[in-house]
A = this chain, B = another copy of it.
């Protein structure tokens, strides 16, 4: 289905099915909104009960409508919707906004109706927003369209806003308006029976009037498509996502060991980061982020200078920077000298630079120039002091001159007030897209968003095919196991699959007898680990089927006897005793688990008791880039344990990254693999080896 949303968003004629004279009703409000918003096209109300509605000729039935209608808005009883959709389609109306509720969101009858609607949409290739939605809004110099019952019609602007929720969408529109943030497009998706966020995302990414896209989502319609869209185009304009809803917790909940550590929200976090989307968590942060991103300038580092005429504000800002991981470095001697030359002796030349209450526009301008020379961004705090002889706009003008000379350095202004006294300064700065905030902490949050946006830009991109691998070999192993009716691989088979993806497995040997064992031990040396391996034995450790620290032949013999008893006791027909060399180094854990929504999810953590006690793990959604893999490794809290530490060499991260890449590729390429657990993997300064591997397949079709 080829989408063309131009006519949906810029219709030349709109039919309102269910239009009513009463402004208080939904059908009445929508018609009224369309009349009042400045829409220049033709408006055609449809209602069998009226000859005219709100001063417009009213059509008795859809069939009576003239041709050439680009969009129909349906606000009728749910029992009439499917019929109306068919009639619209017959009239050649391809674009529909279905306001009517009572579908999937409300019980079985509604769900069946929505299935029927879905079939109609597919059959007639319709472009449908909703059902159960507030409608759509377009506000630009060329088009004023409020095809919704929202009471707020934005004045237009660069933001395209796609919302899964109606009421919260309207709330946000109102907030954007209050904050002076210009919204040019608003889509309330409703139940997404037809069009989803991906269709609009694709459209707005190409729409040159859209400078930023904001999505409020409670779930993803199709995450893979979402990611593809963003990775194709996401670098061009910022995409900000407020993702709410713990309902996916259920969907992502998984039973395995790896899975039990998964916090599904952390997977959403990982996914959005990999998409290059900026995730915000609160409505407040949304506003802060959109304001900050308007200018489109991202900092190239984490050093900020704080200039202030009010000491307390500077301290509060510096504290907030420290909490957020933004550096407020002391200024160099040269910079301090240059500041000293014109600031009064009472000024404090550390960072924050407290220019005290007497600072005028010229001080702000000169000081800003000086401090920007050695930092990546600046926060300027200006609160008009009691005794102040200039118009406040002069401060804005001084700031703007320095901004034009430093086009690549973000600058955020804090006024410590929203009062009348600073409004003219704020307006002057907004004209040039310099963000202003009342509170120092908000300015710092904004800078933090810009820094995240910069990181995301640097992380984007993944190198497909960079990993040498023998997919067919691994595939054949998996198919052989499935053909035997099994859903779990033995250690040997798992090692075989891993090796096909380039991951090194610790030397091992199945010992048929003590003699046989001795030969293996001679080649690798004591101490030795012995364990039971058998198809379907997923919890060796819990079954006490692992014996470590075997240091001599007596112990080896004892261990073999004990494990053979366990095999007999558990009736593991194909059970064997597996011997491994004992490796020393840091214990790590890797995993892959297929998520019903996101596909293969990769996990990394530090092994041993720590991982279970601290749940200190990181996630990625396949495919992952090697830079993202490294980020996964570095982002766990216990990462310092992998660095040179108390005389231990730093762990070589490259092989760890390769295992993560391998797990991602394996998940994408061998669809029968449901889950992989590598626990532990032992790594030191030079070597990395998988010590245990469990691979579960999807149960073979019955």
Residues on A close to B: CB < 8 A? 24-26, 29, 101-102, 105-107, 149, 151, 163-169, 171, 174, 178, 216, 218, 244-246, 281-284, 309-313, 315-316, 318-320, 322-323, 345-346, 357, 383, 385-387, 416-419, 439-442, 609-610, 612-614, 637-638, 640-641, 645-646
A246 touches B319 (CB 8 A): yes
**CB < 8 Å: which of B105, B167, B281 contacts A383?**
B167
Q: List 5 A-B contacts (CB under 8 A).
A: A165-B312, A167-B313, A246-B315, A610-B638, A614-B637
**CA of A470 to CA of B624 in the docked complex: distance in angstroms?**
63
Known A105-B346, A164-B312, A284-B441; further 19 A-B contacts with Cβ < 8 A: A26-B386, A29-B386, A149-B386, A165-B312, A167-B310, A167-B313, A168-B316, A168-B416, A174-B419, A245-B319, A282-B320, A283-B439, A284-B284, A610-B610, A610-B638, A612-B640, A613-B638, A614-B637, A614-B640
B168 touches A218 (CB 8 A): no
What's the least CB distance linking A589 to chain B, in Å? 15
A169 touches B312 (CB 8 A): yes
Across-interface contacts of A244 in B (CB, < 8 A): 312, 315-316, 319
Q: How many copies does the complex hold?
A: 2
Across-interface contacts of A171 in B (CB, < 8 A): 310, 312-313, 383, 416-417
Known: A282-B439, A282-B441, A638-B614. A386 touches B609 (CB 8 A): no
A313 touches B613 (CB 8 A): no
B387 touches A283 (CB 8 A): no
What's the least CB distance linking A76 to chain B, in Å? 15
B283 touches A441 (CB 8 A): yes
**CA of A441 to CA of B168 in the docked complex: distance in angstroms?**
13
Across-interface contacts of A316 in B (CB, < 8 A): 168, 244, 282-283
What's the least CB distance linking A544 to chain B, in Å? 10
Across-interface contacts of A283 in B (CB, < 8 A): 316, 439-441
B313 touches A168 (CB 8 A): yes
Known: A283-B439, A322-B246, A638-B613. A312 touches B218 (CB 8 A): yes
What's the least CB distance linking A514 to chain B, in Å? 27
Known: A218-B315, A345-B106, A638-B614. A167 touches B385 (CB 8 A): yes
Across-interface contacts of A149 in B (CB, < 8 A): 386
Known: A29-B386, A282-B441, A439-B282. A174 touches B312 (CB 8 A): no
Across-interface contacts of A641 in B (CB, < 8 A): 609-610, 613
* Smallest CB gap from A640: residue in B: B613
**CA of A640 to CA of B640 in the docked complex: distance in angstroms?**
20
What's the least CB distance linking A106 to chain B, in Å? 4
What's the least CB distance linking A415 to chain B, in Å? 9
What's the least CB distance linking A285 to chain B, in Å? 9
* Smallest CB gap from A346: residue in B: B106
Across-interface contacts of A612 in B (CB, < 8 A): 640, 645-646
Across-interface contacts of A24 in B (CB, < 8 A): 386-387
